[in-house]
């Protein structure tokens, strides 16, 4: 249900405005809104406050980046002081800047070390291949050495390279080669310094890849570079470890303080962002906002305790505000609350409309159960739900999903007994499980009629809810009522026509339809007949319950038949298990999608009014709210108990 | 009517909507996936858009069942 909200107006002396906002932030109850229809100016930030806001935002960015870089996780609520002094804020701003700079320096150092490690590793095969060749290089102290890598297909061109060098510079060179494990060929060419230019031209023309010696390790000679590179290779892991230890030390030393700083900076920024939501005169201020009606007393008591008679709280009468403006809080019993996740996939319902959660909590598992309808799959689903429940934390989406799976599994098991199914027809073959209602494999038409009948009930319920939600607009409500009545009349006429109801019902139903038709057009306009036909189509759409149900049981039966159909019993059993697994996966997914669709399109379309504003009381920052920017974003919750 | 024709009619009642559904979903899938990459909040719309064409094949299946039951 959508809980009742009250709109309050708070009046007080202007010099107490910031104190009042501080108390309101502690109380975490009032969803602030700018005062309307009051001839007041809004309390824009002063130049000093605007400067403070910019500085605090910069400090917050530093703190956030430092926390991200340090990988500090939020374990439990941050111990934010309710009153951070100016000295605290300055100290935290400096700390954030200092730690951020330090983490950036460490990150750059770690990246450089990683890059150096990768570079040396690139030369690793070269080290071993050239180690033997390097002695040859060292015997030519005044010569120039070229280190060349011939890739797979180029390796065969070594004789041509040797011939080309001989043709270009005669005997003034020596060429050594060694194959690498990668299939490439490492080649060392040592030439006299005088012939170096010609060799370089030759290599360039032949597009032979020369491996340059990294300048950081000794210039031109690999002889000098390799020992240094090997030494670095040994040192780099130790240096990386030092960097990480330094980061861990920073996280240990400053992590908790930075978390406190983040919370306090967010809080102060939220308070500054709330200031323009107040109206002021030269001597007084006005604040307006919504809160759950049952929490009004708490807010009044809280303000009275701090400000006595200086601050006056009064309720704005309902005639002065429109229900569309009020924020929305959904509050449902514990058992139904997980289904708010399903409703939450749609935009929030408007204040004053109907929260569909209780209806979803009943019909969604029922539709799911009718579609899957198998004791075995139901038990598997229950096990899956228990597993997810054990592995999830309270309040998370995963926990809600696990709690939705529970009723779905229950309805699946119940439907399994109604249809006499346990992994398809295994229940009948092994345990003599007989259907209590009908066998879905054979009774296709009864199952289709059951699905459409359930659809009629569901859609009619939606139409009735549509009448209720339009109660403040009598003409619209009457139109929806007539529409619902005509759907009932059509159903009665059809049932009478096929002798399910006594034939005497047929004529009165048709006459009533003819009378209601012009009334509907008068109330709802010319599109009303089309909407009526759409509604009848919506009822037929519930045939998908039967279609998916039959597909599910057929798949299970086919899986069971594999045991006898495939030569080896063991292979048959394996195939059957695999097929059941696939069927279970489909059964978990497809009925969910179609049950959701039946709710969102066929059911919600009759009464649901989206566009509600989420209730966001002005309070202290918590991690769940994300970052504070230009607008206030106090704790978001759709349940006042969670908000507290 | 011969069993062959009845079976053929039932098969076509499923096959043609199935092809139509496949074609529709092949167009909707990439489009909604691209939209969700930019706006993850469209997940509900994605569910609806992908599920809507399936109505064709589901109703085709129902028609096939009716053909088989009434014809057989």
pLDDT of residue A640: 38
pLDDT of residue A460: 94
Distances (CA, A) of A376 to A363, A563, A590: 21, 18, 18
pLDDT of residue A257: 86
Question: What is the CB-side half-sphere exposure of residue A1 using CA atoms within 13 A?
Answer: 5
Q: Which tokens in the block code for residue B2?
A: 């011969």
SS3 A364: helix
Find out whether A20 and A287 touch, Cβ atoms under 8 Å: yes
pLDDT of residue A126: 67
Q: Is the pLDDT of residue A387 over 90?
A: yes
Of the listed ranges A382-386, A530-534, A610-614, the least confidently predicted one is A610-614
Which H helix or E strand runs over A267? helix A222-274
φ and ψ of A473, to 5 deg: -120, 85
pLDDT of residue B40: 81
pLDDT of residue A611: 83
Which DSSP state fits A634?
A: -
Pairing of strands A327-328, A613-614: parallel
Of the listed ranges A147-156, A265-274, A414-423, A621-630, the least confidently predicted one is A621-630
Cβ of A600 within 8 Å of Cβ of B48? The answer is: yes
Cβ of B54 within 8 Å of Cβ of A594? The answer is: yes
pLDDT of residue A411: 96
Find out whether A618 and A642 touch, Cβ atoms under 8 Å: no
Which H helix or E strand runs over A296? helix A296-307
pLDDT of residue A636: 36
How many CB atoms sit inside 10 A of residue A270's CB? Answer: 21
Count of A-B CB contacts under 8 Å: 44
For A543, the closest of B44, B50, B62 (CB atoms) is B62
User: For A591, which residue in chain B has the nearest alpha carbon?
Assistant: B51
Output the pTM of the full model: 0.72
Find out whether A173 and A194 touch, Cβ atoms under 8 Å: no
Query: In angstroms, rounded to a whole number, what is the distance separating the alpha carbons of residues A555 and A553?
Result: 5
Report, as an integer, the average pLDDT of A155-182: 80
ipTM, two decimals, is 0.76
Check CB contact of A498 with chain B, cutoff 8 Å. Answer: no
- Residues 4-63, chain B: which have Cβ within 8 Å of A? 43-44, 47-48, 50-52, 54-55, 58-59, 61-62
pLDDT of residue A133: 60
Q: Which tokens in the block code for residue A244?
A: 């990480």
Where are the alpha helices (H) located in A391-432, listed in sequence order? 397-419, 426-431
Among residues A370, A393, A369, A390, the alpha carbon closest in space to that of A381 is found at: A369
DSSP state string for A374-398: -HHHHHHHHHHHHHHHHTS-TTSHH
A135 versus A48: the higher-pLDDT residue is: A48
């Amino acid at each position: 249900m959508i809980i009742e909200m009250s709109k309050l107006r708070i009046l007080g002396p202007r010099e107490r405005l910031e104190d009042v906002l501080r108390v309101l932030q502690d109380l975490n109850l009032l969803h602030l809104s700018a005062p309307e229809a009051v001839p007041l100016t809004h309390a824009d930030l002063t130049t000093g406050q605007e400067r403070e806001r910019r500085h605090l935002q910069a400090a917050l960015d530093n703190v956030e980046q430092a926390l991200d870089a340090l990988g500090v996780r939020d374990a439990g609520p941050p111990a934010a002081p309710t009153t951070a002094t100016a000295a605290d804020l300055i100290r935290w701003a400096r700390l954030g800047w200092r730690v951020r700079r330090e983490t950036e320096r460490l990150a750059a150092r770690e990246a450089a070390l990683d890059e150096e490690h990768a570079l040396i590793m690139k030369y690793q095969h070269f080290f071993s291949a050239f180690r033997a060749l390097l002695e040859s290089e060292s015997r030519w102290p005044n010569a120039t050495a070229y280190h060349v890598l011939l890739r797979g297909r180029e390796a065969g061109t070594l004789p041509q390279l040797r011939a080309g060098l001989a043709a270009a510079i005669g005997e003034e060179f020596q060429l050594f080669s060694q194959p690498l494990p990668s299939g490439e060929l490492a080649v060392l060419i040592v030439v006299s310094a005088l012939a170096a230019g010609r060799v370089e031209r030759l290599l360039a023309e032949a597009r032979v890849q020369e491996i340059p010696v990294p300048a950081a390790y000794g210039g031109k000679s690999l002889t000098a570079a390799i020992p240094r590179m090997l030494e670095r290779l040994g040192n780099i892991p130790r240096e990386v470890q030092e960097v990480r230890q330094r980061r861990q030390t920073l996280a240990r030393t400053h992590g908790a303080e930075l978390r406190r700083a983040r919370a306090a900076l967010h809080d102060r920024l939220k308070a500054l962002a709330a200031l323009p939501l107040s109206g002021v005169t030269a001597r007084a201020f006005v604040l307006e906002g919504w809160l759950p009606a049952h929490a009004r007393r708490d807010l009044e008591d809280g303000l009275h305790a701090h400000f006595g008679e200086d601050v006056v709280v009064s309720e704005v009468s309902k005639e002065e505000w429109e229900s569309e403006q009020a924020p929305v809080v959904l509050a449902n019993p514990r058992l139904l609350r997980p289904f708010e996740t399903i409703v939450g996939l749609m935009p929030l319902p408007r204040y004053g409309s109907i929260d569909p959660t209780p209806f979803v909590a009943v019909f969604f598992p029922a539709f799911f159960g009718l579609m899957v309808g198998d004791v075995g799959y139901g038990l598997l689903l229950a096990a899956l739900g228990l597993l997810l429940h054990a592995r999830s934390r309270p309040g998370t989406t995963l926990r809600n999903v696990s709690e939705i799976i529970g009723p779905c599994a229950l309805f699946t098991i119940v439907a399994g007994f109604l249809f006499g199914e346990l992994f398809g027809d295994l229940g009948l073959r092994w345990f003599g499980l007989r259907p209590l209602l009908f066998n879905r494999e054979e009774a296709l038409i009864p199952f289709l009629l059951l699905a459409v009948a359930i659809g009629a009930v569901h859609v009619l319920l939606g139409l009735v809810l549509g009448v209720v939600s339009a109660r403040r607009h009598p003409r619209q409500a009457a139109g929806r009522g007539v529409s619902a009545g005509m759907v009932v009349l059509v159903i009665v006429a059809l049932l009478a026509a096929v002798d399910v109801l006594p034939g005497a019902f047929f004529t009165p139903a048709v006459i009533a339809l003819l009378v209601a038709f012009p009334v509907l057009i008068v109330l709802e306009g010319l599109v009303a007949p089309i909407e009526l036909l759409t509604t009848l189509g919506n009822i037929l759409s519930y045939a998908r319950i039967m279609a998916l149900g039959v597909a599910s049981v057929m798949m299970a039966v086919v899986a069971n038949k594999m045991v006898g159909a495939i030569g080896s019993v063991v292979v048959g059993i394996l195939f059957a298990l695999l097929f059941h697994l696939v069927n279970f996966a489909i059964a978990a997914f497809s009925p969910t999608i179609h049950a959701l669709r039946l709710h969102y399109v066929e059911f919600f379309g009759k009464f649901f009014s989206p566009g509600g504003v989420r209730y966001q009381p002005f309070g202290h920052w918590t991690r769940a709210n994300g970052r504070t920017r230009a607008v206030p974003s106090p704790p978001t919750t759709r349940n006042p108990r969670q908000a507290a | 009517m011969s069993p062959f024709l009845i079976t053929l009619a039932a098969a076509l009642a499923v096959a043609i909507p199935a092809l139509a559904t496949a074609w529709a979903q092949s167009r909707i899938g990439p489009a909604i996936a691209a939209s969700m990459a930019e706006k993850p909040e469209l997940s509900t719309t994605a569910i609806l858009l992908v599920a809507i064409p399936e109505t064709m094949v589901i109703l085709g299946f129902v028609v096939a069942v009716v053909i088989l039951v009434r014809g057989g």
